[in-house]
Structure 1
Amino acid sequence: MPLCVLVTGSTTWDDPEPIRRALAALPRGSTVVTGDTPGADACAAALAAELGLPVTRMKKNRADHRAFPSEAWRGLNERMLATGVDLVLAFHADYGKPGCARGTVHMVEHAKACWTEVRIFRE
């Protein structure tokens, strides 16, 4: 059964292989949702397209900036998760280190609060 999978993570993530393996293991027909930043988002979008998976790239909008003036990514995270995501794949080498990976931590915590499955990749 196809899944709706959200990929999130570091804007400096530069290793495509963990993302490729995770996406290649998805059921046929799965859809990938991601943001429009460099790093994990861009890598996931390119690899999903390469694997023939539909990709939905989302951007921060005015409502995100109004709701979270200096952290519009929070609004984007919430909107991406609200698309009906079944699984979140988070790619961040510094996940779990104090003061690091704020956007990824926000997404993971929000997903868990919504009872969405999360898989974290640190390498």
Structure 2
Amino acid sequence: MAIDYDPTSDRGYLRLLISDLGDTPVFDDQELDAILARTRGPKRAAAEALLIIAGNEARLSKKITTQDLSTDGPALARELREQAAALRADADAEDADADWGFTVTGGERPTRGWPELVEEPVRPWCPW
């Protein structure tokens, strides 16, 4: 599988977030593009990709201990899910900050063009 790695692109940033940069990547470019198309931004896409990897780890890898070798697929899957949750939380925080995209600046009220308030005597209400 050949990959096109450009860290300034959304796909490249996604690859960086999930550490899919080796000689044998987990995802090809089309798969990452599909994940990006179905999510909002590279961090949410990275969370989805990590969940896919975690699901594969949980299904394929088991906890195995032999003489000098020990592997723990369920623990790795758990860690990947925690990373995915952290990425989603980070993306949610960025979205919350983006919702407040306006700024309020201080200053004086302009003097021209505003009607002056004039006190008028209070008149009693009369229905007839």
After TM superposition, is the score higher than 0.5?
no
Q: Would you tell me which structure has more helix in proportion to its own residues?
A: 2
Q: Would you tell me which structure has more strand in proportion to its own residues?
A: 1
Q: TM-score, normalized by length of structure 1?
A: 0.26
Bigger Cα Rg: 2
Q: TM-score, normalized by length of structure 2?
A: 0.25
